[in-house]
Structures are given as C-alpha cells and as structure tokens.
Amino acid sequence: MSPLNIKSGSSSHSAYDLRDPNAEVIESHTLAVIVANEAGVLARVIGLFSGRGYNIDSLTVAEVDHTGHLSRITIVTRGTPQVIAQIKALLARMVPVHDVHDLTEEGPSVQRELALFKVAGKGEHRIEALRLAEIFRAHVVDSTLESFVFEMTGTPEKIDSFAELMRPLGLREIARTGVAALSRGL
C-alpha cells in the first residue's frame, strides 16, 4: 500500500482543513511608490526587499513627472499583514521616497499588464491559436509561416489564462511587462 500524498493546506476537493488555524494569512498587495528619479533609487528600493528576504512578484518603473524628476515604482508583493505594514513603513522612511500607496487597501484599482506570446504551430493548431487570440482580444503583431507573436493587455489573471490555453498549441516564449496600476476614482 502506498503512502498518502497529502499536501499542506486544503482545497475545494478536501474534507480536511490541514492549515494551522493560528497561522497568518499571506496576502498579495500592490504598492505604488513615488520616488525621486535619480541614480541608485531603484537599487535601494529593491535592496530593501532582498535584504529582508521579501519577494517581489511584479515590478514596473517609469518616470511620471519630467519636470519634477519623479518616477513611479509599482510593486506587487506578498506577505502577512505585519510584513506588508513593515514594508510600507520602511519604504516611507527612505529619503528618495516621496509617497507610498497601498492600492490593495485604498479601495478599487485598475491593474493591467502587457504581454507578448510567441506561438509556433501549423494546421489546426494555428487556426485554434488565432481563434483563441480573437476571443481574448490579443492582436497579431508578427506572423511567419510557422509562428505568431500575439500582443495582449489585461489583468495578470487574463494573461495567465491565455498562456495556459496556448501551451498545448505551441507556446514557445512569453515576455511580460509587470503590473501597472492606478486607484479608481478621484
């Protein structure tokens, strides 16, 4: 008789809740950090995460105010509520940081990501890839006799779903920009 392969945690298919009831819940948070656009700022912000063993799921950076020399860093990270609070406090104390917003806590936000998918295939696989791309509103930005490059903008979940459907059809490469996010309303 083989041993049971029970994974930690629970699923919708399990009658048992194997999670520790006293354990903290890991949450995903999107942070928008306004910083001075100067040499080394991004390295200092990233160093804050790596120095404490925190992971970054997504990172985007761009200058948003040319005259004020300000950049916006959008970071998606995970942690317990205490870890997220510590990250925000540490970021706010950094000299080049002007503002820190937790878009997850501040209310509804709009999140989008750009992705490019290279899909190789012939015959029915090629036709099916084009059909799925139309459903997901992906655009063909390059085409050869053996492959397509699709461009898609959407939520990270939408991009993940499209990638999963393209895998059996010949997905070869994915390039993703990372999440860009803004809070909704004024």
Does domain 27-102 correspond to CATH entry 3.30.1360.200? Answer: no
Q: Which residue is listed with tokens 């998606």? A: 76
Q: Which residues contact 150 (CB under 8 A, 6 or more apart)?
A: 116, 117, 119, 129, 133, 138, 139, 140, 141, 162, 166
> Are the folds of 27-102 and 109-183 the same?
yes
The domain ranges of the chain are 27-102, 109-183
pLDDT bracket for residue 21 (50, 70, 90): low
Whether residue 5 is predicted with pLDDT greater than 80 in this model: the reply is no
Q: Which residue is listed with tokens 């870890």? A: 83
Give the pLDDT confidence of 107-164 residue by residue, as tens digits.
999 999 999 999 998 999 999 999 999 999 999 999 999 999 999 999 999 999 999 9
Name the more confident of 6 and 35.
Answer: 35
Q: Which class in CATH covers the domain with range 109-183?
A: alpha beta
pTM: 0.78
pLDDT bracket for residue 186 (50, 70, 90): confident
HSE-up (13 A, CA, CB side) for residue 72: 12
